[in-house]
Structure 1
Amino acid sequence: MPALKVAVVDGQGGGIGRLIVEKLRQELGEEVTIMGLGTNAVATSVMLRAGANEGASGENVVVQCASKVDVIAGSVAIIAANSFLGELTTRMAEAIASSPAVKVLLPINRYGIEIAGALDEPLPLQVEDLVRRIRKVYDNFGRV
């Protein structure tokens, strides 16, 4: 069975992406291919050090890779144009939102986006839930 491809998208300092990559690697080991897609080189490098198989930075990378992965993970900000202090462009947000990949997003309320029903839990707990959801996708991956 081919490996599940997960793109982790983050910007600014890459801290959320780092947590996601570390937890995915702990939970799924080498059973998944993790791509660290950063809006900048710092975020990408942090995700690579955390265990991403591949990493690249910038608008074109996100736009091109969004449709080539099975799962996209990050904060809800990755589908909001001009988030991350403007680092996440309109083209990036559109490519992610339009991708056929399953999007598993953290309901972080930093960019004026309130998600009804989302629990306001500490980031590590939110990341654990995100990884559990990706595990479910992995467990059903390749089944017709």
Structure 2
Amino acid sequence: MQEIRNVTRIAVIDGQGGGIGRLLVEKLSRALRNRRAEILVLGTNVLATSTMLKAGANEGATGENAVVQNVAGVDIIVGTISLLVAHSMLGEFTPAMAEAVARSPAIKVLLHLNRSGVEVVGTSAEPLPHLVDMLVERVNTLVISREKSLNGKTGPIP
């Protein structure tokens, strides 16, 4: 049985240069500054992790094992849809990473960028900044909802 944490843990995962992850961390940090939330960044390489940490994350780790070990213990996973695709991010995202993300009980809030060869039908073709704003709004709603459900409760995470 997992203990209830008073903090919502959000994993932002990115690779290559970490540019999308940096944008996500910056906007999430601003939007959640008055919430009980922590941002953990998981980079597929040191540059991605460093870039995201500089954007305001609480902590970070790098590589396949960091992703595999940490995604099971967070409440929300944020990134692009490539997090569910083995060999995405120019091969940086391994099958073990994609499987760990898919198996994680965390809520996945993903951007539908078409860089992974996956096209999601029914989504709007908005520019990246607009998509990030929509993602941040959704994560903020999830964090607020989780805070409300935790007020006065103890025991396992719902």
Range class of TM-score, shorter chain: over 0.9
Matched residue, 2:16: 12
Matched residue, 2:154: none
Letter of the aligned partner of 2:19 in structure 1? Answer: G
Matched residue, 1:123: 128
**Runs of 4+ more than 4 Å apart:** none
- Mapped to 2, the partners of 1:96 and 1:30 lie a distance apart of 27
Matched residue, 2:63: 58
Matched residue, 2:108: 103
Matched residue, 1:93: 98
Task: Note the aligned Cα RMSD (angstroms).
Answer: 1.1
Aligned pairs, number:
144
Letter of the aligned partner of 1:76 in structure 2? Answer: I
Secondary structure of the structure 1 residue equivalent to 2:121: coil
The unaligned stretches of length 5 or more in structure 1 are: none
Normalising by structure 2, we get a TM-score of 0.88
Matched residue, 1:24: 28
- Mapped to 2, the partners of 1:113 and 1:81 lie a distance apart of 12
Secondary structure of the structure 2 residue equivalent to 1:6: strand
Larger radius of gyration: 2
Identity, % of aligned positions: 52
In the TM superposition, what whole-angstrom CA distance separates every residue of 1:119-138 from its partner, at most 9, and x where no partner exists? 11110000000001101111
- Mapped to 2, the partners of 1:108 and 1:138 lie a distance apart of 24
- Mapped to 2, the partners of 1:113 and 1:82 lie a distance apart of 12
Please report how far the alpha carbon of residue 36 of structure 1 lies from its aligned counterpart in structure 2 after TM superposition.
0.7
